[in-house]
Structure 1
Amino acid sequence: MKTQAFRTLIVATAAVAALSVAACSKKAEEANTAAAEANAAAVAADSAQDAAAAAGNAAADAAGNAAAPAAH
């Protein structure tokens, strides 16, 4: 009888450990997904900032080119 109780205890402990590992790994995956999404958003923001700077430079060049003929 002691052997059966010991086996039951071992199986129950293994089940609890497996659930704990599964629960922790799922949270880690969600955190990794959130971090990846945040990185993607940061890259998109950098790209948008670069595009805005390029557009601003192009507008400044266009304004400078338009003003140059009037000065001559």
Structure 2
Amino acid sequence: MKKFMFSAFALLLMVSVSACRETTEEKAEDAMESAADDMGDAMDEAGDAVEEAADETEAAVEEGAQEVEDEVEGNDDM
């Protein structure tokens, strides 16, 4: 009887450990997917910021070029 109880206890322990392991793996997988989604969102935001900065730089360069052209032609308001 002692061997039967010990075997049943060992089997129960193995089943509970394997069940916990699967849950932990699922949680880890969910966390990795969430992190990947967050990283993708951050990359999109960074790309948008770079694009906006490039547009602003282009506008500033065009405005500066126009001011130089006006200065050379004598059409400068200043």
Fold shared, TM-score > 0.5 on shorter chain = yes
CA distance in 1, matches of 2:12, 2:62: 75
Distance of 2:70 and 2:34 partners within structure 1: 53
Quote the sequence identity (%). Answer: 12
**TM-score, scaled relative to structure 2:** 0.75
Kindly report the root-mean-square deviation, in angstroms, between the aligned alpha carbons of the 2 structures. 1.6
Q: What runs of 5+ residues in structure 1 fail to find an aligned partner?
A: none
Name stretches of at least 5 consecutive residues in structure 2 with no aligned partner. Answer: 1-6
| TM score, norm. by length of structure 1 | 0.80
45, 68, 78: which one aligns with 1:62: 68
Find out whether 1:32 has 2:38 as its counterpart: yes
Give the number of the structure whose residues are more often helix, by fraction. Answer: 1
Q: How many positions carry a matched residue from both structures? A: 69
Q: RCO higher in 1 or 2 (8 Å CA, sep ≥ 6)?
A: 2
Corresponding position: 1:21 with 2:21: no
Q: Deviations over 1:21-53 (max 9, x none)?
A: 011111111111111111111111111111000
Q: Which amino acid aligns with 1:35?
A: D
